Structure 1
Amino acid sequence: MSEHRTTSRFAVVTGGSEGLGLAIAGALAHDGADLVLVGRNRDKLETAAKKLGRYDTAVHTLPADLSAPDAPARIAAHVGDLTDRVHTLVNNVGTAHFASLADTTVEAMNTMWHLNVQVPLLLSQQLLPALINARGSIINISSYWARKMVNGRHSAAYSATRGALNSMTRALASELGPQGVRVNAIAPGAVRTPKYERSYIAPMTAEERTAHDEQIEHSYPLGRLGTADDVATAAAYLASAQWTTGTVLAVDGGLTVR
């Protein structure tokens, strides 16, 4: 253990270098939490740390590929050198492969199952002593795809992993509540993150973008896509909501009520 241990409030955020993870980290830092940002890209992590510097809390970065079998244990060891108390663990890393049933591969299923279900479970397990010490909480980032399907996008394997994460959230809330640890999830609708822009919007023609915008207005009662800050606001609430556990909070502009 390092001698530089601290009793400050600590939050560990996976996928914390951009998009939802970065926005959530910012909301937690705004509320006074020191941060451990986990991500694959060292340069993006350093850029994120500089952006978060304005909150005047400590920001530690940990480059790690969460698909590696030893990643959860290695992350927990790194965190353990900083603190023995984790107040918030945000399991934000995930991946999606959309394919028809006929085209779904075992490799894609295994990749999604590992990152979307096993990694949140294993990282929660590895950090459990620190979470118990802090009477902290786990926030799992799920998706509306557990509840709502979209015409033309085949999601059976991906939706299955998000449904599993929601069930795991409720089961862990039941198990860990007596030890003082709360477990909740957020199920966002479509959020206009850098990844969404790169992978979905950028390849569209002008006509396709117009059709996309019209579809959003039709599908979402609130008439727009989400922002990363919309989800971050919900995460900050769950991090501090001392009598809330086992909740899968839909932050989706009303998408799943239609």
Structure 2
Amino acid sequence: MILKDKVAVITGGSQGIGLAIAEAFAREGAKLVLVARGADRLERACAALRAGGADAVGVAGDVGDEGAALAAFAKVRELHGRLDILVNNAGSAFVARLGETTLEQWNSVLSVHATGPFLMCREAVKLMVGGKTRGRIVNVASVLGNTGSAMATAYSAAKAALLGFSRALAKETSAQGITVNCICPGAVDTVLFHEGTIGAVAAKFKADPAALVKGTLAAVPLGRLIQPSEVAELALYLCSDKAEGITGQAYNLCGGLDIHS
């Protein structure tokens, strides 16, 4: 077990990519603290993980809220007294033209995708440095943080901010042996993609969701959606001892979407 007894915090851990990461980490022996907004769904996810033999607890809260971040790390200190791994995966979908985007909507997207990781990383680094832990931080960004996308200006900006933040933090924590890396998925086969992104576009333009998915795949050289388990396996590697020489990097996992022209 490559993460045996490692303590890992995973945000957005109750479904989709976050749950897949939690399942992979549990398989490899990690002790999990999952953070997500929906308390009921979070508890169901933790119960399922525990039924499979995992050590998993949930802390319900919005990662963009400072109180929720502090509560999550208070729970980590209470249960484990240390932290080895942080995965910032919490996300939301928002589709709108710039001219239709309100300041409240803009701030909401930035809160989840940029402010949340800042708060979680700040508290994680404090705990890792205090415990002299050569920790691992993985931030789940997006290929759109590099390429941008029409109808996703707020989301693209937030993910670009997360990429820049992660590179800077990698430099700041390197002396303590804490690595910071990003995973940049493309279109992933999750509820968030099908309902949050495709569903929103379909409703906005009265389009056929199946046709929208087909159009998305036409821009992916490999011609398929990425599976959450694929993101999980990359996160697992980056959080393992095998990746101790990797920091400040961003890995596109998008089926070649970033090279499509």
Q: TM-score of the superposition, structure 2-length normalised?
A: 0.88
- Trace 1:50-129 onto structure 2 (pairs within 5 A): 50-53=47-50, 55-129=52-126
1:107–1:130 Cα change, 3 Å: same
Q: Distance in 1 between matches of 2:79 and 2:24?
A: 21
Q: What residue ranges of structure 1 are gaps of 5+ in the alignment?
A: 1-6
**Residue equivalent to 2:23:** 26
- Matched to 1:238, the amino acid is L
One-letter amino acid of the structure 2 residue matched with residue 228 of structure 1: P
- Cα separation, 1, equivalents of 2:197 and 2:172: 38
Query: CA deviation digits over 1:206-256, x for unaligned, max 9?
Result: x82443343244211111011111111111011111111101110111110
Q: Structure 1, residues 171-192: CA drift from partner, whole Å, max 9, x if none?
A: 0001101011100111100111
Show the 5 A alignment for 1:209-224: 209-224=209-224
Summarize the Cα distance change of 1:201–1:100 in structure 2 as closer, same or farther, 3 Å threshold: closer
Q: In structure 1, what is the equivalent of residue 237 of structure 2?
A: 237
Q: Is 1:9–1:85's contact at 8 Å kept on the other side of the alignment?
A: no
d(CA) in 2 for partners of 1:200, 1:246: 29
Distance 1:95 1:202, change over 3 A: closer
Alignment of 1:257 onto 2:249: no
CA RMSD of aligned residues (A): 2.1
Equivalences, count: 250
- Residues 151-230 of structure 1 mapped to structure 2, 5 A cutoff: 153-201=150-198, 208-230=208-230
Residue 136 of structure 1: aligned partner: 135
How far apart in 1 are the matches of 2:112 and 2:151? 19
Moved more, 40-49 or 177-186: 40-49
Pair 1:185–1:102, CA change in 2 (3 A): same
In the alignment, structure 2 segments of 5+ residues that lack a partner are: none
Letter in 2 for 1:106: L
Identity of aligned residues (%): 37
